[in-house]
Each structure stands twice: as structure tokens, then as C-alpha cells.
Structure 1
Amino acid sequence: MKALSPDLAAHLASGATTLCWCWRVVRRDGVVLGFTDHDRALTFDGTTYEAASGFTASDITDGLGLSVDNLEVTGALSSATLTDDDLAAGRYDDARIEIYRTNWADTSQRVLMRSGSIGEVRRTGTGFTAELRGLAHYLQQPKGRLLQLTCDADLGDARCMVDLSSPAFHGEGAITAAHSARRFTVSGIDGFENGLFSRGLFSFTSGASAGLKVEVKSHAKLASSVTIELWAEAEGPVAGDTFVVTAGCDKRFATCKARFANTINFRGFPSIPGNQFLTQVGRKS
């Protein structure tokens, strides 16, 4: 049951209400955005809620127990703060969201209806649909360790302990040619072996995408050039944009041993039998 302030309770009991919905979004990079379905902008708690034309939401679904409550928000990319490039770059993935029922005539009269995070985002032309998931969905994420051949640590974390700031696993450079929003020819990392940065982290330090961090899909060292391809699109990359990139790992024991000399901290189980062992049939010799 929601706890309403006396003023809001009196407003609801009056029979003539001036209510609207307000959405507060906090992206993982710390950017805070506000949207409302009212016809003018509202401000409270230091956040301005922009009037978003064509911004609509489905009914909120409630369930008993620990089932995931969710709704969908549909809108057009008409806001100057909500861009196609940001959606494509994943800046809204798992962003925290708060949904308020607000008296637009007096914004001090409001109640927090839901809090959660943004799940799947689908884009169609100049529009988008974002799934808003309740907090219960975090309880459905795998916890603990899995019995598997590959390592379950993240390269460079406290369990792995590889120092990614080491010059052997850390490079800086600049884009010399942008072939697309994901694929570039770069300079500054020519001295590293082919594929070292595949599955690594590419961080822009200048340009329109400054501060954006994207996983590397492939790192190819050719005879006269080095190319980097990312898993997600960057925002308007151009020649001259600078970056920092760190090594990647395919989580295999052989790579841990040969590339990082870190087998003592390998967090997989390389000696467990595979499916072939489980399904083999005994035969008479």
C-alpha cells in the first residue's frame, strides 16, 4: 500500500484531480533525465521533467510473489536529450528508473509508484519501445559460481588480479579512419600482437563519444594497419578521436597461461570431463 501525503490524499478525494506521470531516468554514466506526459515541463527534487510529445506507457502489471513486474514505455525520438545514438550505444541499458504520480498543479504532491531498471529497448524508425523491469528481476540473475571449463572472473578484477594498467596489456592511440560507427583504423597500438585487444574494453577519451566504453569485437593487425571493431556503435567517431584500450581474454586456461601467466588465479575448471565423456559408450576391446 502506498503512503500518501495528507495534501495528495485530499487532492485525490476531491474528485477533480490534476495528475500526470513523471519518469526519472538515471543512466549508468550518471546522467539524470526526466520526462512527463504532461503538456509542459515540471521540476522537483532537482530534476526537470521534460514534456515528451507522443510519450506513452502501458499499464503496470502487478504479480504476487517474486514475479517480475513490468510495463513498456513507447515514444518518439523527439527530445533533444533522448537520441538514437545514445540508445544504440547502450547508454540506457539497465538504467535506473523511478515513476511518480504527480499533481502537476503542485508537484510537492506526488507518490513514487514504481522503481526498477530499463530492460530491452527496441527501435523502429524514429521511435522506440523500452521495457521497464521491477526490482524483482535482479533476483532471477545467476548467483554464485558455475562448474565450467572457462574462467568466470572478469579480466583484471579482484579475483583475476591481472594488472590491466601494465604497458603489456594497455594501449593508447587515435582513430585514423572511421569506416563505420563500429569499425576503425587506428594508430598507436601497432606494437601489440594480433588479437590481444579482442574482447577487451575500448574507451573514448575525446570526440563526441568521450567517456563511452564499449567491448571490442575484434582486433586485427595487418601488414600496414591496425583495425578495431566494436560490438556496439559509437556516436559519430571521426579521425583524430583518441582512445584507451585494454586487453581481452577468451576465458580459456591456455590463454590464461600463455598470455597472462596467471594460471594460479584461473577461475575455471579445466579438468572436468566434457559431454563426450558423459555420452561415450563402453565397447569391448
Structure 2
Amino acid sequence: MKTISTALQAHLDGELTTLAELVKITRADETIIAFTTHDADLIADGVTYKADGSYSGGALKQDTNLKANDFNVLGILGSEQITRDDLEAGLYDLARIDVFLCNWSDLSQGLLRIRRGWIGEVTFSDGQYIASLRGFQDMLSRRVGETYTPECRYDLGEARCGVDLSSLAVTGTVSGTIDGRSFVDNTRSEDSGFFNDAKLTWTSGDNTGVSVEINNWDLSSFVFTLWLPVNKTIAAGDAYTVTPGCDKRFTTCRTRFNNAANYGGFPHLPGLSKILLYPDSK
């Protein structure tokens, strides 16, 4: 249910309105980025909404059939507030977005929240970013609870897993690069696959502070292959910290981490073919 002040409602009911749209983005680190469609900066509830021309809102469509009607936020990548590097580094993943309507000529009338949600898919085109807003109806399509599977349902290092990743982290340095997804460290001696699906964090170079996931580690060629390319160039001498990977299988949990007692899967769960078996005449 939306709430609106009496003064703002009266303004909306009038023949002439002076309305502006406000968008507030709150990142996971509590950093707030705010824009307005007005031609001058607006300050509302202690937040400064910038009118730098870098933002425009998409058409707002809502209905009652629970379809995922997204609200797109479009912006120019040249904006001082949002950069492509920040977007690609994941700083805006699952950031909360609040969309308001206000009377820019009298902000004391308050704000009318017209949409709230979280940033979903972000795409880039012609120097712009397009961030889709996922609303509450999107939550209804998400899986709630946990399922019984042979693979572990815990994330490596979380409380229920019990593995202390800080004690298993190792450091390294890039010996050479292949492309934006692959690099060489010829000082490593871990078996192939040891770092598959592991988390690697850059500690020096242009990507300092950025964490990425490893797709494959091959000892024979000393090559790390990432799932996704990094935004900035990987260079020889760049330092990193990496933890072992986990494929969520019981054998890996027992042999690599000595953590069989905390395994979160059901390795002896019968498969679908076993469940569907029925007695025959033999």
C-alpha cells in the first residue's frame, strides 16, 4: 500500500503539476547513488539527487498477474556517479533501488514511492548501461528452502560448512598472461582441478580488490582460466590470493578438507531411476 501526503495528493489532483522522478540506489556497502529527472539537483530526506543528465527512467508498468514487468534504469557510462568499472566489478549486484515521485517546486510535500526493488541484469550498449529493476514479484519465483541432493548444499567456508578458508588461502604472482580470462603462474604445484570453482582476489595491479571465480586450474600448463574476463588488464607481476575450490562432492569434502562430518549433502541418496523401480513378475 502506497502512502502519500495530503499536500502532494492535492498537487497531483490539480490541473498543473511540477513533478520529477527520483531514483535512489543503495549498494550492499551502504553507498547511496541518487539521480533525478529534474533539471537541477534536489535534496529530499537528506539525500542529494543529482541532475547531471546521466539518468533517464524507463516506462513503469505494473499489473496484478505477477508477471515480471521490469522497470529499466538507463544511464550514461560517463557519469561521475556510476562507472562501467564499478558495474563490472559487481559493486551494484543486488543493490536496492527506490523510485519516488515528488513536487520539485515544494519538496516539503514529501515523496511518493512508486517502485522498489533490486538491480537485476545489467547490459551495456552505445555508451549506456541498462539496469533492470526486479520487484517483489520476482521473489515469488525464487527457490525457498533447501533440497535433498547428493551434492553439498553449503557454500565452502560458511558456518555450517566449518572449513576455515583463511588458513587455506595461498598467494601467488602472475608469470604471464594469455587473455582477459587466462593467465599463467608457473610457481604453482597444486594438482589440476585443485582451484576449480575457487575464489581468487587480486591484491595488486589494475584489478586490486576485485574477486573472481576460477573455472579451471591446469597444472600441466600452469594456467588459470576464469569464468568471466576481468574488466582491466592482467599483467605479469600482479599478485593474488586464492583459496581451494570445492565441487560439493563427498569425496572432495573428505579428502581435500577432511570435513566429512560436516558434509551438507546426501551422497547415498538413491537416484530417480531407483525411486521409480517397481516389482515385476520375476
TM-score range, shorter chain: 0.7 to 0.9
Q: Among 228, 248, 251, which residue is 1:251 paired with?
A: 248
Per the alignment, residue 178 of structure 2 pairs with 179
Map of 1:161-172 to 2, 5 A cutoff?
A: 161-166=162-167, 169-172=168-171
Q: SS in structure 2 opposite 1:112?
A: strand
Q: Among 224, 228, 232, which residue is 2:228 paired with?
A: 232
Q: Output the CA distance in 2 between the equivalents of 1:212 and 1:102.
A: 37
C-alpha displacement at 1:264, in angstroms?
A: 0.9
TM-score relative to the length of structure 1: 0.83
C-alpha displacement at 1:95, in angstroms?
A: 1.5
Per the alignment, residue 94 of structure 2 pairs with 94
Per the alignment, residue 111 of structure 1 pairs with 112
Does 2:56 match 1:58?
no
Q: Output the CA distance in 2 between the equivalents of 1:103 and 1:242.
A: 52
Give CA-to-partner distance per residue, 1:146-173, whole Å, 9 cap, x none: 121111110111111111112xx31122
Distance 1:262 1:178, change over 3 A: same
CA contact (8 A) 1:37 1:52 kept: yes
* Matched positions, count: 279
Distance 1:263 1:246, change over 3 A: same
Per the alignment, residue 204 of structure 1 pairs with 202
- Give the letter for the 1:73 counterpart: V
Map of 1:258-273 to 2, 5 A cutoff?
A: 258-273=255-270
Q: SS in structure 1 opposite 2:274?
A: helix
Q: SS in structure 1 opposite 2:9?
A: helix
TM-score relative to the length of structure 2: 0.84
C-alpha displacement at 1:258, in angstroms?
A: 1.5
Q: Percent identity?
A: 35
Distance 1:37 1:206, change over 3 A: farther
Q: SS in structure 1 opposite 2:166?
A: coil
Distance 1:92 1:54, change over 3 A: closer
C-alpha displacement at 1:236, in angstroms?
A: 1.2
Q: SS in structure 2 opposite 1:219?
A: strand
CA contact (8 A) 1:68 1:135 kept: no
Q: Output the CA distance in 1 between the equivalents of 2:5 and 2:280.
A: 77
**Structure 2 residues without counterparts, runs of 5 or longer:** none
C-alpha displacement at 1:31, in angstroms?
A: 3.5
Per the alignment, residue 275 of structure 1 pairs with 272
Q: SS in structure 2 opposite 1:129?
A: strand
C-alpha displacement at 1:27, in angstroms?
A: 2.5
Q: Output the CA distance in 2 between the equivalents of 1:30 and 1:193.
A: 40
Per the alignment, residue 24 of structure 2 pairs with 24
C-alpha displacement at 1:50, in angstroms?
A: 4.2
Does 2:167 match 1:192?
no
Per the alignment, residue 159 of structure 1 pairs with 160
Per the alignment, residue 216 of structure 1 pairs with 214
